[in-house]
A and B are shown apart, each in its own frame.
Chain A
């Protein structure tokens, strides 16, 4: 009985923390209150207080984690809905996404190497500008640590959407397509919700870019690792 009850209570804990914190975020929409941050903190505090090790928590947590795969597959749906939009702007989108994905991965890899960050950590932050579920999978494929990847992805998302307006102003990027591609490729979904504040076109561009970047990024990841390791 204990063997079923414990994992189940961990699932319940996670779901409850998530919905509670989502509610909190809806009331006070500060970027540092995003549910992933607050819910995670809440669960870690709970586990530390009750002396539950992470591995025991994962007996329940792995069930929630197993929904990541289908969620990545589900990204085909918004992409399908925007296929006409994609076809109409094929050249700027594909070109932009390719350049953005390469510069995102190469720049973080080189910087990490320059700053002498340890090997596993470098592999973990290579996919930092991809959307989280894909970044987790790519990090696993590269041999990085998924937890650190998520931290990197969150920082890229939150910081990117805060810094983007000043960068656009400084570099005179006024086109909705340029802005959308930049936000979607550097700051994934958090950037995409920022893009919605500019215009419909910027939003669609950012959302399509985010998905394509995830697909292209999963091809590029191993190549970039191979390149900068030489």
Chain B
């Protein structure tokens, strides 16, 4: 029964992906269809057009095994042995340096904005979703 609910809810998520993709192709947008679907679903949830219980099990399930879905694309690396050459080393170097720069700038900017815009709200509502997926 639970499996059936999850499958049905994934179908709802599929419908949103499909609508997003249609909008993407029809209006020639640069944003991927699935992101349009994400925004639409978020709006529908906020406006209570779709109650959260219609998607929570399916969404939770997909996000808990998210990493599985990248594997087929990642296996595609086998067609690019050039990654083990000098180009690969430069590629890794660019990513490493940029990651350091991003963490530094984002950390300082976030801390600065927090101090400026302190309004005193210490809401700590949290959910522990997607913490183990990449």
Contact = CB atoms under 8 A, between A and B. Distances in A.
A147 B77 contact: yes
Contact of A69 (B21, B70, B83): B21
B104 interface: yes
Main secondary structure of the interface of B (DSSP, over half): helix
Interface of A: 14-15, 17-18, 22, 34-36, 39-40, 43-44, 47-48, 54, 57-58, 61-62, 64-65, 67-85, 88-89, 91-92, 95-96, 99-100, 103-104, 107-108, 111-112, 115-118, 121, 125, 128-129, 131-134, 136-138, 140-141, 145-148, 150-157, 159-160, 163-164, 167-168, 171, 173-175, 177-183, 185-190, 192-193, 196, 200-201, 203-205, 207, 210, 214-215, 218-219, 221-222
A69 to B, nearest CB: 4
Given A125-B95, A137-B34, A58 B66 contact: no
Contacts of A182: 102-104, 106-107, 110
Interface of B: 10, 13-14, 16-17, 20-21, 30-35, 37-39, 41-42, 45-46, 52, 55-56, 58-60, 62-63, 65-80, 83, 87, 90-117, 119, 121-134
Contacts of A34: 67, 134
A101 to B, nearest CB: 9
A47 B78 contact: yes
Nearest to B124: A200
A186 B39 CA distance: 22
B109 A96 contact: yes
Main secondary structure of the interface of A (DSSP, over half): helix
B37 to A, nearest CB: 4
A173 B111 contact: yes
Contacts of A136: 70, 73
A91 B60 CA distance: 28
A54 B78 contact: yes
Contacts of B34: 68-70, 72-73, 133-134, 137
Nearest to A210: B130
Given A17-B71, A78-B129, A115-B93, A167 B60 contact: no
Contacts of A48: 78
Nearest to B122: A201
A82 B59 CA distance: 15
B129 to A, nearest CB: 4
A133 B131 CA distance: 14
A78 B127 contact: yes
Nearest to A217: B35
A108 B94 contact: yes
Contacts of A185: 102, 106
A117 B91 contact: yes
Given A17-B71, A54-B76, A73-B34, A107 B102 contact: yes
B67 A18 contact: yes
Given A147-B79, A204-B125, A14 B72 contact: yes
The winner among B13, B67, B90 for most chain A CB atoms within 10 A is: B67
Given A54-B76, A76-B45, A171-B104, 14 more contacts: A35-B67, A72-B34, A77-B56, A85-B123, A91-B116, A103-B101, A104-B101, A132-B66, A136-B73, A155-B95, A163-B99, A181-B110, A187-B103, A196-B128
A96 B134 contact: no
